[in-house]
């Protein structure tokens, strides 16, 4: 198959695809001086609108920005200077503002901390949230498209509510914000792309497999037939190994429970497939990216025991019945992911920002970003503000941050909550004890990508009868149609002629020489940061042209917008069998890391070592309880 040029792929079309100026102080290679942040290097390009002019309206309302989002330019360079380059940033500026509480990070945990602080100390306390991105919500990011004429919502990070895992604390929090997750369940048909008659499917691309082939009704976790396997374009030996594996009897049934547990916990899933499943290398490769979305990890980072627990094949070798596919994961979801939950929290903390927002209309309610940092308000939220230092004082906490203009400012508070990720905290609090710093650095965040592509219609996918496709040879491991969610006042019809978001979901494969999990995660992170928006756009267009082109999709005409939600520091680190010991109660790194430091408490999902919204809320509740009544 002859590759198409960038021009034929539509790369030169003036859709909304180039980077906006991400705040007033975007820096590429910065010189740090006492009292100021001097911007040097090239300016970031403006992103053009469909009409060819600068889309200035998006500056005031970040959810409609397209291009490179998530960890966008201007949001992370200062933190990298501190953590990677050892920059020392100081200022002689006097303290100009004082609050009862300063929260570092306006994600779910930071916003929940503000909520719990009000509950503990009263509704009139003065709270300031400082957020380094140009939007609030952390990974719970809203992507809002209008290029088709109607509003189309999609998720840019944190997906859903695992309501069956909620603690009593989280249940009360949801009730305080009028969240009825049972009603949300009733108003959604979305099932992560398991609704179409030929889904799930797997696509084998020309570059990787030498042919372009879509294999429908194909799921590696189900008991594949010989006919299914014959459709897979790998070597004849690879297909034979798959057939033998899927129809094998209980070849490991004689293992004792102790032996099975020990080997499964200490063997990676790919090695298990090689050694005990008899799979060839090209057969094993089919599994490599299966957990890029859910866990954000290459399968070689996951033990055989963890993989079997997730439902991947292999338990039949021990004589167990084939497990049922877990397509019925019963989550509750908004049409912009958990961004709607974030909006409900903001509306409760700062009613003047969204005076008409309720749980029934939150997906449609107007939010006035110009009012987030209203001087007279008891709760303020300041975007494009990167905290670079905190220190305990006899009056509370002194905080230094870089403002949106690049100027260093000093403010103070009685208490502070660090709701940012753990590994940056040692650089923000240099006087913290060594043991706590080492514990904070232990948890390396897991990179995550959600690339939303607004397509003119879903007719090509409907023609193929699929709404979710795994792509084992491509950058994004999976793509799925995002529709069927009518919650928060939002409704979209099932009409295949209407515009819809196609979500490309996954992580970045680490290089083969990255052996341990932290090396894998750091290498994946750097590769993600090195990719440009054009790299992602070219990948998306190439995939859709080859995959959907035969069904009538015109890649140059039918892509209306592309938003790349890049999260180099994505999921919270969860302890893994291959890499982490079992610690005594209270001795795990996250438990040591989250201890209060003077008048500073620590929240976020990292503090619970679990990448879920309810964990972030639980940790915010704990952090506020741990604050003393006075500094």
DSSP string computed for 3-31? PPPHHHHTTTS-SB-SPPP-STT--SS-E
Collect all residues with Cβ–Cβ distance below 8 Å to 233 and sequence separation of at least 6. Answer: 204, 209, 210, 211, 213
Chain segment 460-496, per-residue pLDDT in tens: 999 999 999 999 999 999 999 999 999 999 998 889 9
What share of the chain in percent tops pLDDT 90? 83
More confident residue, 453 or 33: 453
Answer whether residue 286 is part of any domain.
yes
Which of 266, 284, 318 is the C-terminal boundary of a domain? 318
Fill in the DSSP letter of residue 44.
P
Rounded to whole angstroms, the Cα distance separating 139 from 130 reads 15
Rounded to whole angstroms, the Cα distance separating 204 from 215 reads 8
Residues 397 and 347 in one domain: yes
Which of 290, 318, 346 is the C-terminal boundary of a domain? 318
CB 146 within 8 Å of CB 454: no
Collect all residues with Cβ–Cβ distance below 8 Å to 172 and sequence separation of at least 6. Answer: none
Mean pLDDT over 76-101 rounds to 90
User: How much is the pTM?
Assistant: 0.92
Mean pLDDT over 347-366 rounds to 97
Place 31 in a pLDDT band, splitting at 50, 70 and 90.
very low
Query: Quick one: pLDDT at residue 568?
Result: 96
Domain count, the chain: 2
Buried b (16+ CB within 10 A) or exposed e, 173-193: bbeebebebeebeebbebbbb
Rounded to whole angstroms, the Cα distance separating 7 from 495 reads 30
> For residue 257, which phi and psi values (nearest 5 degrees)?
-60, -40
Pairing assessment for the beta strands 408-418 and 95-104 based on DSSP bridges? parallel
* Sign of the alpha-carbon dihedral angle for 475, 480, 485, 491: positive
Residues 347 and 310 in one domain: no
CB 476 within 8 Å of CB 506: yes
E-assigned strand segments in 419-499? 446-455, 468-470, 478-482
Mean pLDDT over 140-163 rounds to 95
Which two structure tokens, joined as six digits, stand for 342? 């974030």
Which two structure tokens, joined as six digits, stand for 485? 């969610």
Answer whether residue 63 is part of any domain.
no
Mean pLDDT over 417-421 rounds to 97
- Closest residue by Cα to residue 378 from 125, 106, 112: 125
Residues 299 and 364 in one domain: no
CA distances from 258 to 254, 263, 320 (A): 12, 9, 17
Query: Up-side HSE of residue 185: CA atoms within 13 Å toward CB?
Result: 12
Rounded to whole angstroms, the Cα distance separating 350 from 365 reads 14
Chain segment 6-29, per-residue pLDDT in tens: 877 788 666 543 333 332 232 222
Tokens 């260093």 sit at which residue?
408
* Cα 217–chain centre separation: 28
CB 104 within 8 Å of CB 130: yes
- Closest residue by Cα to residue 182 from 343, 328, 335, 332: 332
CB 147 within 8 Å of CB 16: yes
Residues 262 and 309 in one domain: yes
Tokens 């970003």 sit at which residue?
369
Which of 251, 286, 318 is the C-terminal boundary of a domain? 318
Residues 436 and 375 in one domain: yes
Answer whether residue 324 is part of any domain.
no
Mean pLDDT of the chain: 90
Fill in the DSSP letter of residue 332.
B
Residues 224 and 257 in one domain: yes
Rounded to whole angstroms, the Cα distance separating 359 from 181 reads 11
> For residue 119, which phi and psi values (nearest 5 degrees)?
-65, -35
Rounded to whole angstroms, the Cα distance separating 150 from 403 reads 35
Residues 273 and 349 in one domain: no
**CATH code of the domain covering residue 379:** 3.50.50.60
Q: Does the pLDDT of residue 455 top 50, yes or no? A: yes
> For residue 481, which phi and psi values (nearest 5 degrees)?
-75, 135
Answer whether residue 383 is part of any domain.
yes
Answer whether residue 614 is part of any domain.
yes
Residues 348 and 304 in one domain: no
Alpha helices in 298-367 (DSSP H): 304-309, 339-349
Answer whether residue 526 is part of any domain.
no
Chain segment 204-246, per-residue pLDDT in tens: 999 999 999 999 999 999 999 999 999 999 999 999 999 999 9
Strand partners, 379: 127
The domain of 240 spans: 220-318
CB 602 within 8 Å of CB 418: yes
Query: Quick one: pLDDT at residue 259?
Result: 96
- Closest residue by Cα to residue 30 from 106, 84, 94: 84
Strand partners, 382: 130
Place 195 in a pLDDT band, splitting at 50, 70 and 90.
confident
Collect all residues with Cβ–Cβ distance below 8 Å to 346 and sequence separation of at least 6. Answer: 111, 136, 353, 354, 367, 372, 381
Residues 297 and 381 in one domain: no
Taking the CB of residue 320, how many other CB atoms lie within 10 A of it? Answer: 12
- Closest residue by Cα to residue 609 from 601, 600, 618: 618
CB 87 within 8 Å of CB 160: no
Residues 401 and 369 in one domain: yes
Which two structure tokens, joined as six digits, stand for 281? 């290398």
CB 412 within 8 Å of CB 396: yes
Collect all residues with Cβ–Cβ distance below 8 Å to 90 and sequence separation of at least 6. Answer: 34, 35, 400, 408
Tokens 């200035």 sit at which residue?
56
E-assigned strand segments in 5-115? 31-33, 36-38, 67-70, 95-104
Residues 302 and 354 in one domain: no
Query: Quick one: pLDDT at residue 496?
Result: 92
Tokens 């989002």 sit at which residue?
69
Taking the CB of residue 43, how many other CB atoms lie within 10 A of it? Answer: 10
Q: Does the pLDDT of residue 594 top 80, yes or no? A: yes
Residues 308 and 369 in one domain: no
Chain segment 271-327, per-residue pLDDT in tens: 999 999 999 999 999 999 999 999 999 999 999 999 999 999 999 999 998 875 545
CB 125 within 8 Å of CB 101: yes
Which two structure tokens, joined as six digits, stand for 408? 């260093």
Answer whether residue 10 is part of any domain.
no
Query: Quick one: pLDDT at residue 23?
Result: 29
Taking the CB of residue 85, how many other CB atoms lie within 10 A of it? Answer: 10
Tokens 């929260």 sit at which residue?
103
Answer whether residue 197 is part of any domain.
no
E-assigned strand segments in 205-279? 213-215
Tokens 């974030």 sit at which residue?
342
* Sign of the alpha-carbon dihedral angle for 216, 217, 218, 224: negative
CA distances from 65 to 20, 69, 133, 143, 498 (A): 8, 8, 13, 8, 21
Q: Does the pLDDT of residue 125 top 50, yes or no? A: yes
């Amino acid at each position: 198959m002859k590759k198409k040029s960038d021009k034929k792929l539509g790369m030169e079309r003036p859709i909304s695809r180039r980077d906006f100026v991400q705040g007033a102080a975007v820096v590429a290679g910065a010189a740090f001086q006492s009292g100021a942040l001097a911007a040097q290097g090239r300016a970031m390009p403006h992103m053009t609108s469909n009409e060819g002019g600068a889309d200035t309206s998006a500056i005031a309302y970040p959810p409609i920005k397209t291009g490179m989002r998530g960890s966008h330019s201007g949001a992370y360079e200062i933190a990298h200077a501190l953590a990677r380059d050892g920059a020392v940033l100081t200022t002689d500026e006097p303290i100009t503002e004082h609050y009862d509480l300063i929260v570092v990070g306006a994600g779910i945990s930071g916003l929940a901390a503000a909520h719990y602080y009000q509950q503990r100390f009263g509704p009139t306390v003065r709270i300031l949230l400082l957020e380094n991105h140009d939007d609030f919500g952390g990974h719970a990011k809203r992507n809002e498209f209008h290029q088709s004429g109607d509003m189309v919502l999609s998720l840019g990070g944190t997906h859903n509510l695992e309501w069956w895992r909620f603690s009593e604390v989280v249940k009360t929090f949801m009730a305080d914000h009028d969240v009825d997750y049972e009603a949300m369940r009733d108003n959604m048909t979305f099932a992560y792309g398991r609704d179409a008659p030929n889904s799930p499917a797997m696509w084998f691309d020309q570059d990787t497999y030498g042919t372009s082939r879509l294999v429908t009704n194909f799921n590696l976790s189900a008991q594949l037939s010989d006919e299914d396997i014959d459709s897979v374009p790998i070597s004849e030996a690879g297909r034979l190994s798959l057939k033998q594996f899927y129809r094998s009897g209980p070849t490991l049934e004689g293992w004792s429970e102790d032996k099975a547990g020990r080997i499964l916990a200490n063997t990676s899933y790919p090695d298990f497939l090689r050694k005990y499943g008899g799979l060839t290398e090209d057969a094993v490769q089919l599994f490599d990216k299966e957990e890029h979305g859910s866990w954000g990890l290459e399968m070689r980072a996951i033990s055989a025991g963890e993989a079997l627990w997730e439902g991947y094949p292999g338990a039949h070798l021990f004589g167990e019945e084939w497990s049922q596919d877990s397509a019925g994961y019963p989550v509750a979801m908004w049409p912009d992911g958990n961004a709607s939950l974030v909006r409900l929290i903001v509306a409760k903390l700062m009613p003047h920002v969204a005076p008409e927002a309720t749980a029934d209309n939150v997906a449609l309610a107007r939010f006035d970003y110009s009012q987030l940092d209203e001087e007279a308000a008891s709760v303020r939220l300041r975007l494009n503000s990167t905290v670079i230092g905190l220190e305990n004082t006899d009056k509370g906490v002194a905080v230094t941050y870089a403002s949106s203009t690049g100027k260093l400012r000093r403010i103070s508070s009685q208490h502070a909550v660090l709701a940012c990720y753990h590994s940056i905290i040692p650089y923000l609090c240099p006087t913290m004890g060594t043991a706590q710093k080492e514990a904070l650095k232990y948890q390396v965040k897991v990179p995550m990508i959600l690339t939303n592509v607004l397509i003119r219609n879903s007719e090509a996918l409907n023609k193929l009868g699929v709404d979710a496709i795994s792509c084992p040879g491509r950058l994004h491991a999976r793509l799925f149609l995002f529709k069927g969610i009518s919650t928060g006042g939002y409704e979209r019809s099932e009409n295949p002629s209407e515009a819809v978001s196609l979500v490309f979901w996954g992580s970045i494969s680490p290089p083969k020489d990255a052996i341990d999990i932290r090396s894998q995660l750091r290498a994946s992170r750097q590769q993600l940061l090195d990719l440009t928006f054009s790299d992602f756009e070219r990948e998306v267009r190439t995939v859709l042209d080859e995959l959907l082109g035969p069904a009538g999709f015109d890649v140059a005409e039918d892509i209306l917008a592309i938003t790349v939600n890049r999260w180099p520091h994505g999921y919270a680190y969860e302890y893994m069998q291959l890499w982490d010991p079992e610690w005594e109660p209270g001795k795990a790194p996250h438990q040591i890391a989250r201890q209060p430091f003077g008048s500073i408490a620590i929240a976020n999902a990292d503090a619970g070592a679990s990448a879920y919204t309810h964990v972030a809320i639980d940790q915010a509740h704990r952090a506020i309880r741990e604050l003393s009544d006075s500094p």
